[in-house]
Structure 1
Amino acid sequence: MNLSQTLRTTQLLLNFHDGQPVFILRPPSALVNFPRPRWPEECEVISDSIQHIDWEPPEPEPFYKPSRRESLLPAADGPGNVVYCSDFATKHLYFTRSRVGGSRGSTSCAKFLVTPPDISLEFESRFESGNLQKAVQVGAFDYELTLRTDLYTEKHTQWFYFRVRNMKAKMIYRFTITNLMKASSLYSLGMRPLLYSETAAKENGVGWHRVGSNIRYFQNCSEDANETNDAGDSLYSLTWTVRFPYDSDTCYLAHCYPYTYSRLQYYLKQITSNPAVASYCDVRTLCQSLGGNIVYVMTITTRGSSPAEVRNKKAVVVTARVHPGETNGSWMMEGFLDFLLGDSDDAQVLRDNFIFKVVPMLNPDGVVVGNYRCSLAGRDLNRNYKTLLKDSFPCVWHTRSMVERLMAETEVVLYCDFHGHSRKHNVFMYGCDRNSKLFKFQERVFPLMMSKNASNKFSYKSCRFKVQKSKEGTGRVVMWRMGIKNSFTMEATFGGSTLDDRKGTHFTTGDFKSMGFYFCDTLLDFCDPDQTKVAHCLVEVSTLLKKEVKKKMSKNLDTDGSFSMSDLETSTSGSNSSDSDGLPVHLLH
């Protein structure tokens, strides 16, 4: 049998467990592959391989404490000197086609107006998940930066990730991002940017860490009025100063710990190449994205059970990264998979009792090009789970269809989509109440249990259960209306914790991954045949809600005493994307 035949056939593998032979059927490896990322054809992509080591700081990194004397960027004498400009985003109004490696032409579109030993920094962002549009030197060590909006849109600037070189050690550099679009930010609440030094990684094993002083987030103002973009949205700026540790180093700056599509593919390769893990984990292609990148789906469960036992298993659906700039969702997903695919007794119990359907990266196109919220359709996928446009929104269309088929076979006991949040600290959940009268609150039990298992990271007080009209197209609400009673979004802050012994400190990748562990641990408690913990949580939820009712009634004396649980809550809105609906941009043209 030649190699091509081997790739297309099921293989019988022999392993040993406790000295006993165990036979495993491994499906054809050709059923899933890991090709290089595809980019829109107009995107210029450098050939450098960007990799970062995994590292955890020895102590939690504290929030920045403003001195109230932070200064703004001084006015420049003239327009400044453009030292980097990558303007491919202005060439096309909508997505047309993609190819591996992006544009076939030269990289002349990115203008570099400096060469060593000039004191100007050298900027670069034409790599996976990078999104710097322009850098203007307005002083010897001062730079104004413009982020590229999500491709084929005029908004969604929050995520940033770029490279700098040719720095002078110990000099104070100032960066000011001038076209942010959210009115508030965690940078006003102590969050600091992230820095990665290749020299520090190579010589000292130090990876991403928090840096920055003189941090301010403010609304842009001209002489006569507040500044807006072409769409009329107000613009805001983030400014901070930093000292680089080494001369002529290669450094990266980012909004959150990067997690690229290539990293996910590497992780999945390790799974598929491990026969032990492959015995209870299938990795398959769910669909191809609009840009032609593979959306992977994983099925994790113990095999070898009788057909009746398999039918009796309940299912759990977990997804992540529908918003590409929310990289913390991918770190939580990796922690979740590390636990579930591990060899612990608890992981075995979960695999024995549940069928897990996992889509680890819903929006690979957005991740590849460095978008913050949208796909290459120029729309927020998490407002389009009800779509009928299969070809324009394949990732969410196929995810919904997969869940519908699963629900026809068994009960889906829980659905959760992992996200990041830009305005609130801690980790918390958004769920869906039944819009019924008070004290029917089973959907609040799982989040409360999470808060007990991760008391210094997860805030139950920050959880919300109101179903807003603007969120009807989200995965959480659509899955709930399909009949999944426990349907959640788990939101992890870009910043850190305000709770217990972690109060006032940033989250690391390890913290995000630990939330995946806690999610599995809570699932064990939530579905334990002994429902004592669930019963206790129901009583506690009832007590908390009664207090909220009394508090509300004391403030609203004219009420008739009739409440829906959603009446007790404020809006869950934290994004500027609720209007990201309508036809995909390529169909409009």
Structure 2
Amino acid sequence: MLISTAFDSGNIEVLSADRPDNIRLNIRKDHQSDFYQWFHFKLLSTAEIEHTLIIENASGSAYPKGWEGYQTFASYDRDTWFRVPTSFDGSKVTIQFTPEQESVFFAYFIPYSWERHLDLVQWAQQSSWVEQKVLGTTLDGREMNLLVIGEPAEHKRSIWITARQHPGETMAEWFVEGMLEALLNEDEPVSRQLLEQCVFYVVPNMNPDGSVRGHLRTNAAGVNLNREWKTPTIEKSPEVFHVLNMMDEVGVDMYLDIHGDENIPYNFIAGAEGIPSYDDRHAQLEASFRAAYLQATAEFQTTYGYDKDEPGKANLTVASNAVAERFRCLAFTVEMPFKDNDDLPEPYQQWSDVRSQQFGRDTLRAILAVAPRLR
């Protein structure tokens, strides 16, 4: 029996693997951080025998309630993923699975590799609408890719999309992939209308180092990038530093920061109600976008989500709050589930890469609905 994590985003520690029915594991913490929940590993063993894999340190993870009702992803070919029986007793997570083949991969959510990321930005670059920029490098020396989509002009709105500030939230980059496929489709009327009015600035992966290292929430320095937007530094958070510099250069009329939520089994957005400059115009724009999102896709809802900040009490280190205040613009955090959308449950894959991609495509319709009113 072999358990391996020697690949992009691999994360697990083997405590014991002497018997298929008693494999004991721990999830490795993010580097220089106490955050952990993301796992991704390969099991090579005997087919057609039931295996019991126990994650011993599940209760100490970043979001222990996230394990309630959660089902692990598995794949034989690393392309098609499916859920496997998983339980949580309040202390340990237990995965029970009888593999049909000798090797199988397991992951907290469907991985989005750095190689796929590089393929995505090179594919997008083939469009005449796209310019690829490198804003700078990360602490591990990886590039910070920005896709500029559309021809900048004075009358056009600047729409910013960032994803995977928290690297374990891989659904965010699947969302961006789906959104880009629709936005760069010359036969898609919504995209043509959008690019007549807007220029899109898309950062598909805000945290390349954490992604490759198999982190849940932090970069190579153990820093949560979504708490760095007030005063980012080259030393700790170059990813935010470079993106914010570019935002200052071109401006922001609308900003969506794409995430995944471990606990809440719904798609939802968090606005900027608590920022100091929040006013009636901002409130009306937020209401318009929520209404447009509800019209754009049945996957979205407004009943469940985070509590709203009290007036003037927003955390301005958080990206959507910081950008909304800095640029007096419409800004949201978009959250997708790790489990399923309980409004539209799907037992085989639950929330997945495919549904994340479609959610990204559908989001363009909501953006189009509010674009004329962003200035």
Q: TM-score, normalised by structure 1?
A: 0.59
Q: Distance in 2 between matches of 1:256 and 1:350?
A: 31
Which amino acid in the other structure matches residue 251 of structure 1?
Answer: V
> What corresponds to 2:5 in structure 1?
125
The SS at the match of 2:106 is strand
> What corresponds to 2:103 in structure 1?
250
Q: Map 1:233-382 to 2 at 5 A.
A: 237-246=92-101, 249-272=102-125, 274=126, 277=127, 279-302=128-151, 310-343=153-186, 344-382=188-226
Bigger-Rg structure (1/2): 1
> What corresponds to 2:259 in structure 1?
419
The SS at the match of 1:452 is helix
Q: Distance in 2 between matches of 1:183 and 1:463?
A: 16
Alignment deviations for residues 477-520 of structure 1 (CA, whole Å, 9 cap, x no partner): 11011033311110000111121576997122111001111110
User: Which sections of structure 2, spanning at least 5 residues, go unmatched?
Assistant: none
In the TM superposition, residue 151 of structure 1 has moved relative to its aligned partner by 1.2
Which amino acid in the other structure matches residue 471 of structure 1?
Answer: N
Q: Map 1:176-215 to 2 at 5 A.
A: 176-180=54-58, 181-182=61-62, 184-189=64-69, 191-198=70-77, 207-212=80-85, 215=87
Alignment deviations for residues 297-320 of structure 1 (CA, whole Å, 9 cap, x no partner): 1110047xxxxxx11111101000
Residues 498 and 504 in structure 1, CA contact (< 8 A), matched pair in contact too: no
Q: Map 1:548-563 to 2 at 5 A.
A: none
> What corresponds to 1:523 in structure 2?
367
> What corresponds to 1:387 in structure 2?
231
Q: TM-score, normalised by structure 2?
A: 0.90
Runs of 4+ in 1 over 3 A off after TM superposition: 434-440, 467-471, 500-505
Q: Distance in 2 between matches of 1:371 and 1:145?
A: 17
Alignment deviations for residues 279-311 of structure 1 (CA, whole Å, 9 cap, x no partner): 2100110110011000101110047xxxxxx11
Q: Distance in 1 between matches of 2:319 and 2:279?
A: 25
Q: Pick from 290, 302, 306 the counterpart of residue 460 of structure 1.
A: 302
Q: Distance in 1 between matches of 2:237 and 2:349?
A: 38
The SS at the match of 1:375 is coil
The SS at the match of 2:194 is helix
Which amino acid in the other structure matches residue 269 of structure 1?
Answer: Q
Q: Distance in 2 between matches of 1:503 and 1:239?
A: 19
Which amino acid in the other structure matches residue 243 of structure 1?
Answer: T
Residues 173 and 241 in structure 1, CA contact (< 8 A), matched pair in contact too: yes
Note closer, same or farther for the CA distance 1:406–1:244 as it changes in structure 2 (3 Å cut): same
> What corresponds to 2:52 in structure 1?
174
In the TM superposition, residue 255 of structure 1 has moved relative to its aligned partner by 0.6
Which amino acid in the other structure matches residue 283 of structure 1?
Answer: Q
Q: Distance in 1 between matches of 2:89 and 2:144?
A: 36
Which amino acid in the other structure matches residue 338 of structure 1?
Answer: E
Q: Distance in 2 between matches of 1:510 and 1:252?
A: 19
Q: Pick from 493, 503, 507 the counterpart of residue 337 of structure 2.
A: 493
Q: Distance in 2 between matches of 1:500 and 1:136?
A: 39
Q: Distance in 1 between matches of 2:143 and 2:213?
A: 15
> What corresponds to 1:218 in structure 2?
90
Which amino acid in the other structure matches residue 286 of structure 1?
Answer: L
Which amino acid in the other structure matches residue 327 of structure 1?
Answer: T
Which amino acid in the other structure matches residue 240 of structure 1?
Answer: I
Residues 76 and 104 in structure 2, CA contact (< 8 A), matched pair in contact too: yes
Note closer, same or farther for the CA distance 1:438–1:282 as it changes in structure 2 (3 Å cut): closer
Note closer, same or farther for the CA distance 1:338–1:131 as it changes in structure 2 (3 Å cut): same
Q: Distance in 2 between matches of 1:292 and 1:526?
A: 38
In the TM superposition, residue 465 of structure 1 has moved relative to its aligned partner by 6.6
In the TM superposition, residue 184 of structure 1 has moved relative to its aligned partner by 3.5
Residues 164 and 258 in structure 2, CA contact (< 8 A), matched pair in contact too: yes
> Larger relative contact order (C-alpha < 8 A, sep ≥ 6)?
2
Residues 195 and 251 in structure 1, CA contact (< 8 A), matched pair in contact too: yes
> What corresponds to 1:136 in structure 2?
16
